[in-house]
């Protein structure tokens, strides 16, 4: 596709359920990022992939959060045993050039997760 | 640590008036700075970025920003606001993280309202 796509766009989960959020980056983009955007806040970094390698997971808030990108393309962010504080919009972004501070990150529309 | 601060969580202007959204950065090294716009229920779209090539940066939709090292600022401006400019605007700095990759650190955002 022309841009980054994410699915589902909206997800409602009961507390304690596991959820999986999908990201399809722009074809050919090496770098893939996940961000979490709480209501009324700016996005916050969660994790980074270069191809299939997860090089930075310093932003993952707990061990309930897990991300993978097994073939270096599609990525999945999984949250186990969801809690109410996990309610947020989860944004995926991709960029072409790894290790570049100036390369543009292209964002998907996000998945809005609501935990009841 | 590198960070950005956006002054004013909400700015309201009349259609045709000047738009000024403020962003100050904190960085011990020359920063790479970005402005993104987010329309309701959409992902972030890059407006412009500063990569040290030129201090006055022109972006899409008539926006521009000037990097001022002496003031540690990167304010976003547009001479004449349109109704379609109503959105949330985020300033971000590219921060080296965990080796060779970079992540974006965002401000809290400024909601721009344009009145007819």
Q: Which two three-digit tokens encode residue A88? A: 């947020």
Residue of B nearest to A98 (CA): B101
For the four alpha carbons of B70, B2, B41 and A40, in that order, the dihedral sign comes to negative
Distances (CA, A) of A32 to A24, A89, B82, B116: 10, 17, 33, 40
pLDDT of B100 > 90? The answer is no
**How does pLDDT run across A8-59, given as a tens digit for each residue?**
999 999 999 999 999 999 999 999 999 999 998 999 999 999 999 999 999 9
Q: Which two three-digit tokens encode residue B105? A: 């650190």
Mutate to test the interface with B, among A34, A36, A42, A94 (most CBs of B within 10 A): A42
**How does pLDDT run across A60-115, given as a tens digit for each residue?**
999 999 999 999 999 999 999 999 999 999 999 999 988 888 889 999 999 999 99
List, in sequence order, every beta strand (DSSP E) within chain B: 3-7, 10-14, 19-26, 32-38, 44-50, 56-58, 64-68, 73-78, 87-97, 101-106, 110-115
For residue B48, the 8-state DSSP code is E
- Residues of chain B with C-beta less than 8 angstroms from the C-beta of A100: 102
B69 contacts chain A (CB < 8 A): no
CA distance B98 to A65: 18
B82 contacts chain A (CB < 8 A): no
pLDDT of B111 > 60? The answer is yes
- Give me the pLDDT at residue B2, please: 86
For residue B71, the 8-state DSSP code is T
Q: Which two three-digit tokens encode residue A56? A: 């930075």
A1: confidence class by pLDDT, cuts 50, 70, 90: low
- Give me the pLDDT at residue B98, please: 67
- Give me the pLDDT at residue B47, please: 97
Question: Looking at the partner chain, which of B43, B97, B109 has a beta carbon nearest the beta carbon of A42?
Answer: B109
Mean pLDDT of chain B: 93
- Give me the pLDDT at residue B52, please: 82
- Residues of chain B with C-beta less than 8 angstroms from the C-beta of A40: 108-109
- Give me the pLDDT at residue A97, please: 86
A35 contacts chain B (CB < 8 A): yes
Question: Looking at the partner chain, which of A31, A55, A106 has a beta carbon nearest the beta carbon of B98?
Answer: A55
- Residues of chain B with C-beta less than 8 angstroms from the C-beta of A108: 43
């Amino acid at each position: 596709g022309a841009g980054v796509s994410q699915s589902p766009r909206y997800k409602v989960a009961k507390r304690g359920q596991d959820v999986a959020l999908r990201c399809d980056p722009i074809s050919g983009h090496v770098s893939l990022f996940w961000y979490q955007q709480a209501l009324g806040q700016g996005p916050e970094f969660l994790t980074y992939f270069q191809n299939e390698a997860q090089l930075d997971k310093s932003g993952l808030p707990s061990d309930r959060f897990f991300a993978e990108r097994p073939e270096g393309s599609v990525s999945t962010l999984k949250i186990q045993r969801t809690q109410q504080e996990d309610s947020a919009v989860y944004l995926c972004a991709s960029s072409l050039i790894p290790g570049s501070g100036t390369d543009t990150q292209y964002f998907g529309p996000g998945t809005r997760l609501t935990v009841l | 640590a590198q960070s950005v601060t956006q002054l004013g969580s909400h700015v309201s202007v009349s259609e045709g008036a000047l738009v000024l959204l403020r962003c100050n950065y904190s960085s011990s090294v020359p920063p790479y700075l970005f402005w993104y716009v987010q329309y309701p229920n959409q992902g972030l779209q890059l407006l412009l970025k500063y990569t040290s090539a030129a201090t006055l940066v022109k972006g899409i939709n008539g926006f521009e920003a000037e990097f001022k090292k002496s003031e540690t600022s990167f304010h976003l401006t547009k001479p004449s606001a349109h109704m379609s400019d109503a959105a949330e605007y985020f300033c971000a700095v590219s921060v080296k993280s965990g080796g060779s990759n970079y992540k974006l650190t965002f401000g809290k955002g400024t909601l721009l309202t344009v009145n007819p």
